[in-house]
Amino acid sequence: MKLRIRGDSIRLRLKVSEVHRLAAGESIAEETHFPGAVLTYCLEVSDNGNFATTFSGNKLVIQLPRADVEEWADSDKVSLVSEQELEDSGTLSLLIEKDFKCLEPGHHRDCADDEDTFPHPSAS
């Protein structure tokens, strides 16, 4: 699972096996280590029908509605999108995407990044 944060926007890209695990109701978590701290980010499936995001104790948890995950996993749909109102004004944007194979692999990236990815829809 790849994490990208920019301002009040969170984007996660999931590999094929991770999408399948989510569709089966499993949680997915990754850790990023810093000197003296660890950031954990986690996707969970929820039966309440709503997207929800929490951040506490260096842990980011995003809950995804089970029905949306199951539909997304079994379709050509690329992403799940949601927005969550923030307490102090503003909006947190969430984008959960299937991770596609790179169209032009090169020396700037590790070939392992393309393992377990979805076929790119624009590939011939």
pLDDT of residue 117: 73
Looking at residue 66, its pLDDT comes to: 96
Q: What is the pLDDT of residues 14-61, one digit of tens each?
A: 999 999 999 999 999 999 999 999 999 999 999 998 999 999 999 999
Q: Looking at the domain covering 2-101, what would its CATH class be?
A: alpha beta
* Band of pLDDT at residue 107, cut at 50, 70 and 90: low
* pLDDT higher than 70, residue 8: yes
How far lies 59's CA from each of 30, 46, 49, 121, in Å?
Answer: 10, 17, 22, 33
Q: Residue 115 has what pLDDT?
A: 78
* CA–CA gap between residue 95 and residue 80 (Å, rounded): 6
pLDDT score recorded for residue 106? 59
Rounded CA-CA distance 84/26 in Å is: 23
Using one digit for the tens of pLDDT, what is the confidence trace for 53-76? 999 999 999 999 999 999 999 898
Taking the CA atoms of the chain, what radius of gyration do you get in angstroms? Answer: 15
